[in-house]
Amino acid sequence: MITIRELSAHDELYDFVHFPFLLFGDSPYWAPPIISDELQNMNSQKNPVFNHVEARYFIAYRDEQPVGRIAGIINWLEVRELNIPKIRFGYFDCIDDPEVSKALLGKVRQMGKEKELEFMEGPLGFSNMDKAGMLVEGFDEPNTMITWYGLPHYAAHLEQLGYKKEKEWVEYEIQIPDRSPPKVKRFSKLIRERYNLRNVRFSNTKELLKHTDEMFDLINKTYSDLSTYIPIKPDQITHYKDRYVKYLHPDFINCVADEKGDLIAFAITMPSFSKALRKANGKLFPFGWYHLLKARYFPQKAAFYLIGIKPEYQNKGVTSIIFDEMNEVFNQNGITTVETNPELEDNEAIQALWEKYENRLHKRRRTYRDSL
């Protein structure tokens, strides 16, 4: 018999965060989160996203043993300001039993109906800045720090229950040459001269932090035309800076400025923490911090996370400046492989960039939707 328990107190969330450690065990492909980071992100007293987000957490049990988990999430900015009557489901993990999936999703469905919403979609996090998408290809590839791992039966269960594909993302592995591709190098020089642009480098984290507000402002401007984009609020910016700055390496942040010195574009790449996270196994102490610091300062691989371009400079070749510069940084640091962030499958502009490099489409993930 399957029973579903809602976690009613914050101190109970440890069981929720810990469940994947039971499910995935020592899988070589799963990069575990840092448990304390996960708990802080779910803490409504510490994460300002909960000023406009409502979340409930559920664990499924069979014979008193945990067999699955799920979160029901309502982003009220999305519902009220964007007029999208949706409840999200996220943090979805379970054993290979469709009845467990059905019971967990049923709790989110009930929550959505109680709030008079019209459909559910997931897996999604609390906001646009959180993890999204269920892995459907690439189960023998390590997940990155900002993506969920998953098992083949997750999608099979949802499809069996009648859920339909909503969005799909692809991820690429890029081989970095020992110098920028000639076309990228030439185009980069041309665009710099045409618009009087220059690269901005940072020598340390303190210097980088002075420009993070500008970067978040660019994120909001870059994606403001997307109908599903929820602008990042100032208090959330502070939270994300506190959460992620310890993982950033200043050399890996590339910005482009205009003749006035104002940022018009940026790209964030980070050392790959997948192996370090597996060694840390969810804990910073006693030795988890060492593995993360080693990955930060002596990286063997990198992950491309986020790009922002001022609207008036979009589709003008500014990305060539960014990739020319990043190629040089990777060469200096001995990085030969970079993994891209999930990008929507129909984002032909960004995927056209990878055609200039040796690449491999190695993962897909998607969200599923069903009416309430």
* pLDDT above 90 (res 85): yes
Domains and CATH numbers, the chain: 2-171 (3.40.630.30), 177-335 (3.40.630.30)
- pLDDT higher than 90, residue 57: yes
Strands 53-62 and 86-94: unpaired
Q: How confident is the model at residue 239 (pLDDT cuts 50, 70, 90)?
A: confident
* pTM higher than the cut 0.75: yes
> Is a pLDDT exceeding 80 seen at residue 353?
no
Cα–Cα distance, 246 to 253 (Å, whole number): 13
Share of the chain above pLDDT 70, in %: 99
Average pLDDT, the chain: 93
- Which of 256, 270, 267, 226 lies closest to 350, judged by CA? 267
Q: Greater confidence, 139 or 297?
A: 139
pLDDT band with cut points at 50, 70 and 90 for residue 66: very high
pLDDT category of residue 306 using cuts at 50, 70 and 90: confident
**Of 62-76, 219-233, 266-280, 354-368, where does mean pLDDT reach its minimum?**
219-233
Q: What is the pLDDT of residue 152?
A: 97
> Residue 341, SS3?
coil
Please determine, for residue 227, whether its predicted confidence score (pLDDT) is greater than 80: no
pLDDT at residue number 248: 86
Q: How far, in Å, CA of 340 to CA of 318, rounded?
A: 18
Is residue 318 over pLDDT 80?
A: yes
Q: Is the predicted pLDDT of residue 8 greater than 90, yes or no? A: no
User: In one letter, which amino acid is 13?
Assistant: L
Dig out the tokens for 304 from the structure. 């491309």
pLDDT at 6 > cutoff 80 = yes
Q: Tell me which residue has tokens 């646009």.
A: 128
340 falls in which pLDDT band (50, 70, 90)?
very high
CA–CA separation, 368 and 101 (whole Å): 13
Token output for 220: 């909001």
CB 192 within 8 Å of CB 133: no
Question: Which of the pair, 332 or 244, is modelled with greater confidence?
Answer: 332
What is the rounded average pLDDT of the residues 95-123?
A: 98
Provide the pLDDT confidence category of residue 222 given band limits of 50, 70 and 90.
Answer: confident
Distance of CA 137 to the CA centre of its chain: 17
Say whether pLDDT at 285 is over 80.
Answer: yes
CB 221, CB 364: distance < 8 Å: no
Cα–Cα distance, 330 to 222 (Å, whole number): 25
